[in-house]
């Protein structure tokens, strides 16, 4: 299918073929799992603040729903295309299945640079995109989540658009929404916590103990900062962190909570921290 | 949108731009009418008679629904792709609007050579394709019809699949179905009759009368044969017809009904007719 | 299926087999058309005027819906049972198909003697029965009508119960309802008119003319009286009519309108008429 | 209602009357609880592997839904009839109520010998039966389960047919489905575990202790084998088991796990075991 | 019910009581027909062009739906209140019943001066109001129409809001919409034509002929101008018309088409016409 | 909006303005939260036992649903009017939000004195009222509960009416229903328990311990009696209780369980107790 033929999708296909080969997957199943079940492309006309109508292209791909409702983020990025979205949807199927969650994989996106839009334009884009994919999503069908370029606010708009269409509030139509309308505690730190869990499991394989380990972390944004804090809580000694602006090192261990407070209070980046 | 970027779609876009230019269409409307509203790509796994599962790619594109439910054929052909289907859907919008019918334009298709399939395989392919596009079609949403590679039987299978899903018989979900389950009289000859109507209108522009005209027709299948018959009924003298195998000419006019009977009764092509 | 095994159903089966034999019906189709598609039996608890709860048994059988929504009356009679209802449903399929109406056949009923019920009890029985068969009926699924022991008022109750359940007025869920809520003109005389049409067709076969015919009619209720009147309007000479109480004869033709007026005005039966 | 009049239903009625008498049940309630609320009979045409169409009769009876959605198995057996299914549905109402589960009672079945069908025929039979009873079942209406002649695979087909009709995966429409699509752990051994629980309760009444008891079990299939294993885990001494082929006895107690392994590994029946 | 207690509603009640008295209406029916079946009050928050949120109050009253879906206009006027809307809804019931149309009566409105709103604000107000009354309206439930302060454009927005919520175009949800999306020909002149029909009927009672009548018309807007034109077409001599700015008189009859053209072409009011 | 203008609603508005002032609430939000989102007024015709039809006025007001489905009681009292119901609905929004429950606020009622109705009339009133507000309520939309003049039995009738309309049992449509159909344990004593919790929190603020406190309670009905019992269970000394008939005092503490038994067993009021 030439519509999916992009480098990302070719990569996902190659990985799939390799895994299917290794597990001697039944050829019939292989055929069915290779391509996404449903791919929807929608035009998203948006009235810009200056009165013009700009038309963006939106996507929603559901790779496989045989294990339950599909689940996957929505990405706003100028390079989004069908092949990329389809590859990410397929990876969501494997992620959910490996974690034994009763979900299939999906992914969506709009080819747009959200930083070029005003907040009002972003809202109109999101609401129109949500209205167009409405027949395919729902708490028992397909549940979006934030991804690159989208956040809790975007999820709130999607939830509100969906809720207006059915006539009552439906919090289950998205995850990653704000706490005040039913979002989950701990979601912000969830990726960092996942990094720690995976690290601990890897150490167990290597017969190492996190409590005797020293840790160096590259990146100190949402993921890296939470990783550093949780690593330390688990007993590791975090001796260095860095971000795009610089790094900080202390062989006897950094005081991560103090570092976080300083960054937050003074708006400092790591460069300004000594 | 690279997914649509095929020669057929580029042609449709060029035509549209030219018309939009000529009618000085509002730029905002132009943006919105250029791209289809919704394009759905589905995987259609089919169990072949030999037990293998073959996965085909199906499409359904709805170009614009602001004038009413969308309407458009379903095409089974190996070369079907998203760009072609989108171009045909756009043309359906213009056709319906020019004839002032309260319908928008749509088109669908499956990339398959139907002549390579057994009747049972064709049925399974059709039923699965219909089940996958189910959320987007319906008598008040989008109404398929036969097109290249599909016929009344295929429509009957789509109608039956849709009807089973809602729980009662829904003849309005397709047009071009068999007469016995609610199809329309005259549909078989409709295209030929349309050719005659257009010809008569063209003659009127040229201040000519169909009753003094001589007619030559290339093609003597479903379209050409009915055109010949109706032309004659309208008073024209049909002096020659031809098909892929040969032709027949009589300057004082052919006896079309007799010719049709001979072709039908003896299974003759024009080559065998003298 | 022993649940259907009653004399009436055996009769319908024998007729069907004979017809199927005569038309050399495909054995697979024969198997499918022999038994009704769906048969629903419901318990209908009714609070009687004296406070007791009486539980009646109701039926709704849909014989075949492949030609369209099913259609058929609802009968209140102590002898109603599943076999009889199933036979009548099958006959409705043939009747609709022979008249080339886009309907399948159905029938329903309750095993109750309506003459033993007060009007309030009859209403409660009807509303409860309608509520129980609700998932199977509807303007596009299955449309009841009056039959033995039911009338326009019973249809009005069914329509109202159905309408309350969907939340708005649905006249299409029954036929034979009162004119004031959407019933059809001419329904009361429809059966009598049908008798006349059939008679005229039979006469045509026999090369006879209705205008030179003399007519004798047994029964002078809703069917017989309208038959007599319409026969006369078509030019026949009605020389005798009779009912359960007696008969009246006049070799030069009865004055049917005058007879009808007398019966209606003076509440006379034929016995009292000279 | 003669349609239900079978020995099994008469037995259930007699039991009910006895219990109603004992508890002095209100006569009005007694009338309402005697007969099932809804009984659906459907024709199930199945294309056999040799091309013939065979039409089977299927049933679904909902006895009483006032305590919640109805619940009950689906039985494939040549002797299934409406009376039997209705009796089993009534028993399900009592079972659920006695265990204080928020469910009413239902039961279903098809009059067919599943051992005479190929796997493909069994699938087609099941999917068609599920499609026909579709309007009455659902997670909040009526939830089927496996019973005599049906298993987790049959439930998977029903779940898939239902899910296709609503357009997304609905695991809650059946219980007893395979683990991989949402089935419950422990279901296979559930009946055996129930036998043990009931036995322990009975012993408590008799002031006996399971740990000083010796156990003899007739039957060593799914129920008996799990019963034997769990009895032993609870401290009982299982001194003999038998099945249709023979028996095995050891006064000082059998080694059940070893016996189970031998049966499973070597495909032995008890006859071959010494 | 004090919520309805306004002069307009008291007037409607008095009229109703008088009519009910005259026709000796059954007291039970009288009680039921006095008050509207359902009255919905909604808050309509609108973001104004300057960023403020203004909250308007909207109404939709359904007086009686026993004859079919309810029907009635939507009024935008600062003085709209529940009592007025309820009175107008009741009058719609009588109007539809007298004309023997299968509709009940309804009415709606928003307490707002539409002339104070920009077009964008008017659109947002209308779409939000439509979304709030969504659960009560629909082609088979309740069908709005234009009224004081609303027009075809407002109907188009309501239709579009409704259509977006159900997912496909629903022209039947409003009447009085633009021709291009399914409006009816002749609607603009309908009220004027109605005035002429009523006049002709009144003349017939008086044994007068429209063709020998002279006509004077007060008002020359949408209603008056069409009345004048149609009166003349029916043979009457229109000798004078006037509007808020002045009048024009010609004892031998005005040339209405010429007058209409002059008003339209030169944007003149009657004052400027001589 | 004059329809809401009653003393109770003016009180609620004044409280809201004061709180909004104190928390410096965004003026736009203030506008939106001041008025209820939807207010439905319905006519409720009831056939009285003597055959007359009496028409009552019912209300259901949903104040704000942005935090989840709305929740609130249904009140039967002659003085119920729209303003009061709207005020109570608004208070429910604040109560749910302060307790961080994912619900918005609603309230309903009928202007009727339930003590003047027979049980059958009360049932017919309730079922008709429930049918009329049906489009606005549901487990995911708006969930009624008992309030002044209504009880678990009224909730059971509402649940049954709603369940009949959707076709299966829906316990989630009301709270406060009887235990046997899914009600919650502890609901009867819930208000009394709430009084104790609030008292304990107040004591904590005052640095006092419930175990050293003496308690005097005015009222010994459902709320007071449970309060007394739970206070004592928490360690307080209840030295006096009173009701409309008299009081009882014992400085060393009353024996509340004994007092409750005496009241219940002997049907005594406090006056008869010594």
Q: Mean pLDDT, to the nearest integer, of F139-162?
A: 94
**Least CB-CB distance to D102: which of F167, F168, F182?**
F182
Distance from D35 to chain B by nearest Cα, in Å?
Answer: 27
| Catalytic positions of A | 107
CATH hierarchy code of domain E190-266: 3.40.50.720
Identify all chain E residues contacting A45, using CB atoms and an 8 Å cutoff: none
Question: HEC states along chain B?
Answer: CHHHCCHHHHHHHHHHHHHHHHCCCCHHHHHHHHCCCEEEEEEEEEECCCCCEEEEEEEEEEEECCCCCEEEEEEECCCCCHHHHHHHHHHHHHHHHHCCCCCEEEEEEECCCHHHCCHHHHHHHHHHHHHHHHHHCECCCEEEEECCCCCHHHHHHHHHHHHHHHCCCCHHHCCCCCHHHCCCCCCCCHHHHHHHHHHHHHHHHCCCCHHHCEEEEECCCHHHHHHHHHHHHCCCEEEEEEECCEEEECCCCCCHHHHHHHHHHHCCCHHHCC
Q: State the Cα–Cα distance between residues A128 and F249, nearest whole angstrom.
A: 69
Active-site annotation holds for C115: no
**Distance in angstroms (rounded) separating the CA atoms of residues E57 and F263:** 52
Q: Which SS3 state, helix, strand or coil, does residue D129 take?
A: helix
Q: Name the nearest CA neighbour of E167 among E134, E211, E120, E206.
A: E134
Closest approach of A23 to chain E, Cα-based (Å): 43
Residues of chain C in Cβ contact (below 8 Å) with chain B: 65-69, 102, 104, 138, 140-142
For chain C, residues classed under CATH 3.40.50.720 are 190-267
How far apart are the C-alpha atoms of C188 and C201, rounded to whole Å? 22
Q: Where in chain D is the domain with CATH 3.40.50.720?
A: 190-272
Give the number of B-C residue pairs with CB atoms closer than 8 Å: 22
Mean pLDDT of F134-153: 93
Are the beta carbons of C57 and D132 separated by less than 8 Å?
A: no
In chain A, CATH 3.40.50.10860 covers 2-181
Interface test with F, best of E4, E16, E35 (most F CBs within 10 A): E35
Predicted local distance difference test score (pLDDT) of residue E114: 95
Closest Cα in chain B to A31: B55
DSSP secondary structure letter of residue F138: B
Question: What percent helix, strand, coil does chain E show, rounded to 5?
Answer: 50, 20, 30
Q: In angstroms, what CA-CA distances link E82 with A77, E8, E88, E105, E111? A: 50, 10, 10, 15, 10
3-state secondary structure of F17: helix
Q: Which tokens hold the place of B261?
A: 């009977």
Q: For chain D, how big is the Rg over CA atoms in Å?
A: 21
B36-181 topology per CATH: Rossmann fold (3.40.50)
- Name every chain F residue with its beta carbon within 8 A of the beta carbon of D140: 168-170
Of E134, E165, E167, the CB nearest to A135: E167
pLDDT of D66: 86
pLDDT tens-digit map of C202-231: 999 999 999 989 999 998 888 899 999 999
Catalytic residue, chosen from C34, C71, C95, C107, is C107
- To the nearest whole percent, how much of chain F has pLDDT over 70? 96
Q: Which tokens belong to F202?
A: 């107040």
- C135 contacts on F by Cβ (under 8 Å): 167
pLDDT higher than 60, residue A218: yes
pLDDT in tens, C100-113: 899 999 999 999 99
DSSP H/E element including F60: strand F53-64
CATH 3.40.50.10860 residue spans of chain E: 2-26+37-181
> Residue holding tokens 């779409």?
E127
Give the ipTM: 0.85
User: For residue D69, what is the nearest residue in chain F, using CA coordinates?
Assistant: F169
More confident: E265 or A224:
A224
Instruction: Report whether CATH 3.40.50.10540 matches the domain F190-265.
Output: no
Residues of chain C with Cβ-Cβ distance to B169 below 8 Å are 65-69, 104, 140
Which of D165, D166, D168 is the mutation pick for testing B, counting most B CBs within 10 A? D165
pLDDT, greater one: B246 or C2: B246
Backbone angles phi, psi at D99, to 5 degrees: -85, 5
Contacts of C81 in chain D (CB under 8 A): 2-3
**Chain F residues with a Cβ under 8 Å from any Cβ in chain A:** 65-69, 102, 104, 138, 140-142
Q: Considering the candidates E107, E115, E141, E264, report the single residue annotated as catalytic.
A: E107
* Closest approach of B164 to chain E, Cα-based (Å): 21
Task: Kindly list the residues of chain A whose beta carbon comes within 8 Å of any beta carbon in chain F.
Answer: 167-171, 180-182
Q: Is the dihedral of CA E197, E203, E204, E205 positive or negative?
A: positive
Name which of D259, D174, D256, D271 is nearest D215 in CA terms: D256
> At a CB cut-off of 8 Å and minimum separation 6, what does D32 contact?
C43, C45, C53, C55
Alpha helices by DSSP H, chain A: 7-22, 27-34, 82-98, 119-133, 152-166, 190-205, 222-233, 256-266
* Min Cα–Cα distance to chain B from D163, Å: 10
pLDDT of residue C221: 82
Write out pLDDT tens, residues B134-184.
989 999 999 999 998 999 999 999 999 999 888 888 999 999 999 988 899
Of C53, C54, C81, the CB nearest to D2: C81
* Residues with Cβ within 8 Å of residue F148, at least 6 apart in sequence: F73, F75, F76, F77
Task: Kindly report, as residue ranges, where domains of CATH 3.40.50.720 are found in chain F.
Answer: 190-265
Spatial contact of C40 and C61, defined as CB atoms under 8 Å apart: yes
Measured CA to CA, the distance from residue A121 to residue A46 in angstroms comes to 7
Strand partners, E178: none
Closest alpha carbon within chain B to C66: B169
> What CATH code is assigned to E2-26+37-181?
3.40.50.10860
Q: pLDDT value at position A42?
A: 96
* Chains touching D, CB cut-off 8 Å, 3+ pairs: A, B, C, F
Q: Cα distance from C169 to chain E (closest Cα, Å)?
A: 5
C183 DSSP 8-state letter: P
> CA-nearest residue of chain D to F180?
D67
- Minimal-distance CA residue of chain F relative to C162: F165
Which of D131, D134, D164 is facing B131, going by the closest CB pair?
D164
Query: What DSSP assignment string belongs to F105-136?
Result: EEEEEESS-GGGS-HHHHHHHHHHHHHHHGGG
Nearest CA in chain C to D112: C1
- Per-residue confidence band for B273, with pLDDT thresholds at 50, 70 and 90: low
Alpha-carbon distance C267 to nearest alpha carbon in chain D (angstroms): 40
Per the CB < 8 A criterion, the answer to whether D271 and D245 are in contact is yes
Q: Which two tokens stand for residue D185?
A: 């752990």
The residues of D carrying an active-site annotation are: 107
The Cα of F59 is separated from the nearest Cα of chain E by a number of Å equal to 9
Q: Do F68 and A167 touch (CB under 8 A)?
A: no
Name the residue with tokens 């010594």. Answer: F274
d(CA D139, CA B12): 48
**Cβ-based contacts of C180 with chain E (< 8 Å):** 67
Residue of C5, C36, C39 to mutate for D, most D C-beta atoms under 10 A? C39
Q: At what angle do helices A152-166 and E152-166 cross, to 10 degrees?
A: 100
Q: Do B182 and C138 touch (CB under 8 A)?
A: no
**8 Å CB contact between E268 and E220:** no
Structure tokens at E66: 């026993």
Residue A38, helix vs strand vs coil: strand
Residue of A3, A90, A135 to mutate, interface with B, max B Cβ within 10 Å? A3
Which of A39, A56, A134 is the best residue to mutate to test the B interface, defined by the most B CB atoms within 10 Å of its own CB? A39
Q: What are phi and psi of D128, to 5 degrees?
A: -70, -40
pLDDT 10s per residue in chain D (274 long)?
Answer: 578 889 999 999 999 999 999 999 999 899 889 999 999 999 999 999 998 999 999 999 999 998 899 999 999 999 999 999 999 999 999 999 999 899 999 999 999 999 999 999 999 999 999 999 998 999 999 999 999 899 999 999 999 999 988 888 899 999 999 998 889 998 888 989 999 999 999 999 999 999 989 999 998 888 899 999 999 999 999 999 998 788 899 999 999 988 888 877 665 667 666 5
C39 contacts D42? CB cut-off 8 A? yes
Kindly report the number of other CB atoms within 10 A of residue B178's CB atom: 13
In angstroms, the CA D139 to CA D178 distance is 17
Name every chain F residue with its beta carbon within 8 A of the beta carbon of A170.
140
- Asked if the Cβ–Cβ distance from A53 to B81 is below 8 Å, we say no
Contact assessment for residue C242 and residue C219, using Cβ atoms and an 8 Å cutoff: yes
Predicted confidence band of residue C266 (pLDDT cuts 50, 70, 90):
low
Chain C: residue nearest B167 by CA? C141
Q: Which CATH number fits domain F2-181: 3.40.50.150, 1.10.1660.10, 3.40.50.10860, 3.30.390.30?
A: 3.40.50.10860
B170, two tokens: 């829904």
Residues of chain A found within 8 Å of residue B111, distances taken between Cβ atoms: 1
**Interface list for chain E against chain F, based on CB atoms closer than 8 Å:** 1-3, 27-29, 31-32, 34-43, 45, 52-55, 57, 81-82, 111, 132, 135-136
CATH code, D190-272: 3.40.50.720
The predicted pLDDT at position A159 comes to: 96
Nearest CA in chain B to E183: B102
pLDDT of residue F167: 81
Q: Which CATH superfamily is domain C190-267 in?
A: NAD(P)-binding Rossmann-like Domain (3.40.50.720)
How many Å apart are CA D91 and CA D83, to the nearest integer?
Answer: 12
């Amino acid at each position: 299918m030439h519509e999916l033929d992009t480098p990302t999708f070719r990569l996902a296909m190659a990985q799939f073929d390799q895994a299917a080969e290794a597990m001697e997957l039944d050829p019939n199943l292989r055929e069915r799992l290779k391509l996404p079940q449903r791919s929807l492309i929608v035009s998203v006309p948006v009235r810009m603040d200056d009165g013009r109508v700009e038309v963006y292209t939106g996507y929603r791909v559901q790779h496989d729903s045989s294990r339950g409702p599909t689940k996957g983020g929505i990405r706003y990025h100028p390079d989004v295309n069908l092949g990329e979205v389809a590859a990410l949807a397929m990876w969501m199927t494997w992620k959910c299945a490996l974690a034994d969650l009763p979900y299939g994989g999906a992914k969506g996106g709009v080819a747009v640079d959200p930083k070029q839009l005003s907040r009002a334009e972003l809202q109109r884009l999101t609401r129109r995109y949500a209205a167009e994919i409405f027949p395919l999503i729902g708490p028992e069908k397909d549940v979006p989540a934030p991804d690159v370029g989208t956040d809790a606010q975007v999820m709130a708009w999607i939830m509100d658009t969906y809720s207006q269409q059915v006539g009552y509030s439906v919090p289950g139509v998205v995850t990653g929404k704000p706490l005040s309308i039913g979002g989950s505690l701990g979601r912000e730190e969830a990726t960092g916590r996942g990094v720690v869990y995976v690290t601990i499991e890897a150490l167990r394989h290597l017969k190492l103990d996190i409590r005797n380990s020293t840790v160096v972390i590259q990146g100190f944004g949402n993921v890296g900062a939470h990783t550093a804090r949780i690593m330390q809580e688990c007993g590791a000694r975090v001796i260095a962190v860095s971000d795009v602006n610089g790094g900080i090192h202390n062989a006897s261990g950094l005081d991560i909570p103090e570092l976080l407070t300083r960054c937050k209070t003074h708006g400092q980046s790591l460069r300004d921290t000594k």
